[in-house]
A and B are shown apart, each in its own frame.
Chain A
Amino acid sequence: MKIMVAIKRVVDYAVKIRVKPDRTGVETQNVKMSMNPFCEIALEEALRIKESGLASEVVAVSMGPTQCVDTLRTGLAMGADRGIHVEAVGPLYPLSVAKILKALVEVEKPGLLLLGKQAIDDDCNQTGQMVAGLLNWPQGTFASKVVIDMEKQAITVDREVDDGLETLCLDLPAVITTDLRLNQPRYATLPNIMKAKSKAIKKFTPQELNVDVKPDLEVVEVTEPPKRKAGIILSSVDELIDKLKNEAHVI
């Protein structure tokens, strides 16, 4: 079985973002970019499945500007066998990404498609569900545990839902999106980073895949959220109880 993993290049999770003064978006020039943390978890899971002998190959795919190749290299250094970069300019919303992924699935014919549950920049939490719908594959979203049974061609997924955990059994091929609890991603070692440089990254454009990426959404403006007004530091529990009771009236 081949596994395909979709990875996204985003502003690093630890960066304090700045909204551009012209309100068109968030500043991404000269800002540290990294692989989306949920995508790292998806890739780690794919690698573990391969290491357990249940998969033959892990293909990492990413779409967007040229710099996505750096993110793919990181994925290759973690252990992915090869990469695919779909070069696209302009905004790519989850619907377009899902259509591109569907086209790539038709080229590569993986038995499992892994994605993160959401990207930490747009916070959409849509792409995995959408590509599963387009492919008519079953979906296991927000996965915290994944067990594959090759004999039955099925995958058991524990999902993090609002009120606990839900276990589903899906027929392969399937789409899985990963939650934080699934695993602890590995670091790429220096020798693996060197090795990754010689791994292949194939290039496509959306046009070559016959995907129309014309968006049906437009960003009107991006603004800073309202600031909370500065609070006060109290000196004792008694003072706290007094404030909550007589000033804030919440207890």
Chain B
Amino acid sequence: MINRTLFSALKRSILPSSTSQSQLLPSFSSTCRSASTLVLAEHDGGSINAASVSAIAAAGSLSKGSSISVLLAGSGPSLQEAAQHAASCHPSISQVLVADSDKFTYPLAEPWAQLVQLVQLRNGYSHVIAASGSFGKNILPRAAALLDVSPVTDVVAISESRQFVRPIYAGNALCTVRYTGADPCMLTVRSTSFPVTSRSAESTSNKSPISQVDLSTFGGDSVGKSRYVKHTSQEAERPDLGNARVVVTGGRGLKSAENFKMIEKLAGKLGAAVGATRAAVDAGFVPNDLQVGQTGKIVAPELYMAFGVSGAIQHLAGIRDSKVIVAVNKDADAPIFKVADYGLVGDLFDVIPELLEKLPENK
């Protein structure tokens, strides 16, 4: 609590004048060196997304008692609403920083990276963290280059405050790396490895202070070189693939987009998200944002059901942390059976209808 007050007092004294910044910065950063983390949060429709909350959970496990600031950028009322949500979404947050400007209306990498640089130079965080979704992977390395530090991607475990475990070679090896450079230590974290417990998600009573980032010195010299045009997404009535409790996936064995509807029907019955292999996406059965694997999404549901999926290295990279894996394939030698807890050798065109008929309704 004392730390937090000190933190915001110092911050306030630093913010108004840019000339006094350089003198204040050293003493400030040394007091907070071991314990201050900035989390870059992604928000949509007035709340921060689940992956960002996982990144906050990861920040909390870096070191006990560290102060965590959450940075949000955007414009208008939905940003302020998201800031309110961020302030109460996790008990370990010390403050929420809000950058409100039409430069941030869309989450473009160029203004965001410069914003991170600005906030870092002012406040001297020891760590900067984002979830490793397309938002974090796009922005964080660019910001790291501006700060001349090496980022660490897709961290699955934090062993010490500067030592992390991350998968390499499509998850076929785990690499422990130590960051030895200057502050800040920057990382993106795999959200399935830092689950948010329901207990911490409920702590709405604890509301941390919200402060606006002073953007008067925001240069943004690369801003305007990129412009947002449009966004297209499929209507998602199903649970989000990254966080679903159950995932039902189809591969090349489905043979057509028409047949893939069986997978969707089964997912509907199980209250599950739908996933796909690269083969199914390339064949045009489903859009690419359903791809699970090394280059698509990483999932770790309680139940993963794979139909007509052979189990290539690149696909297994995305599912190996699932709790229970079920595989249905007519090829008894398919590699997927080596990782499946329950395998059924058979024709999915027989198995899925039977499952649809016999499974209990689950919503």
Contact = CB atoms under 8 A, between A and B. Distances in A.
Contacts of A228: 320, 325, 339, 341
B174 A222 contact: yes
Interface stretch (A42-50, A202-210, A232-240): A232-240
Contacts of A11: 169
A237 B344 contact: yes
B242 A162 contact: yes
Interface stretch (A64-72, A136-144, A192-200): A136-144
A170 B226 CA distance: 4
Given A98-B145, A180-B295, A234-B342, A168 B229 contact: yes
A22 interface: no
A133 B181 contact: no
Interface stretch (A51-59, A103-111, A243-251): A243-251
A120 B170 contact: yes
Interface in B136-177: 137-146, 148-154, 163, 166-177
Contacts of A126: 141, 144, 151, 153
Contact of A244 (B221, B303, B337): B303
Contact of A219 (B176, B222, B351): B176
A120 to B, nearest CB: 7
B343 interface: yes
Q: Is the interface of A mostly helix, strand, loop or mixed?
A: mixed
Interface residues of A, number: 81
Contact of A216 (B179, B227, B295, B324): B179
A16 B172 contact: yes
A127 B142 CA distance: 9
A156 B295 CA distance: 22
A167 B137 CA distance: 17
Interface string A142-175: 1010000000000010011111111111110010
Residue among B135, B167, B178, B297 with the highest chain A CB neighbour number at 10 A? B178
Interface stretch (B30-38, B62-70, B231-239): B231-239
Contact of B341 (A142, A220, A224, A231): A231
Contacts of B342: 231-232, 234, 240, 243-244, 248
Nearest to B152: A217
Contacts of A220: 163, 176-178
Q: Is the interface of B mostly helix, strand, loop or mixed?
A: mixed
Interface residues of B, number: 92
A26 interface: yes
Interface stretch (B108-116, B120-128, B200-208): B108-116
A141 B137 contact: yes
A95 B100 CA distance: 30
B119 interface: no
A234 B226 contact: no
B226 A168 contact: yes
Interface of B: 108-110, 113, 133-135, 137-146, 148-154, 163, 166-182, 221-222, 225-234, 236, 242, 246, 270, 278, 281-282, 287-289, 294-295, 297, 302-303, 313-314, 320, 323-326, 332, 337, 339-345, 351, 354-355, 358-360, 362
5 contacts: A95-B145, A165-B232, A222-B173, A222-B176, A233-B332
